[in-house]
Amino acid sequence: MNMLARVARFLVWVLVLSWSMWLLRRVLGWLLRKAEKPSQQSTAGFSATDATKASRRLIRDPICGMHVDETLSIPYREEGELLHFCSIACRDAYVSSMKRFVANA
């Protein structure tokens, strides 16, 4: 009978421990959700049109291959074609390489 009492006590403690962990997870989850709500309220006024304005198109620089935001890029128009560069150095490198290409052609 002593062994059966030990097993029963062990099972009761496992049940109490698992219930306590479940309750602790529920309380912590509730607290974390409560803490996140003020930050979500600040972005609640963020409409779908603002989201489309915030998402911008990335353009690949033809010289170095870096992707740059179209609004932050350095535009260069050549023969009706609009090219975007990440820096003035890349733009100047493109212009000088095009001059060499035209001189050799």
Q: Are residues 98 and 71 in the same domain?
A: yes
Residue-wise burial string across 24-59, b where 16 or more C-beta atoms lie within 10 A, e elsewhere:
eeeeeeeeeeeeeeeeeeeeeeeeeeeeeeeeeeeb
For residues 64 and 99, membership in a common domain is answered with yes
List the CATH number of the domain containing 60.
2.30.170
The pLDDT tens digits for 23-32 are 999 998 888 8
pLDDT band at 99 (very low <50, low <70, confident <90, very high): confident
pLDDT of residue 100: 82
Q: pLDDT per residue over 54-91, tens digit each?
A: 567 898 999 999 999 988 899 999 888 999 999 999 99
Within a domain: residue 78?
yes
Tens-digit pLDDT profile for residues 51-62 = 555 567 898 999
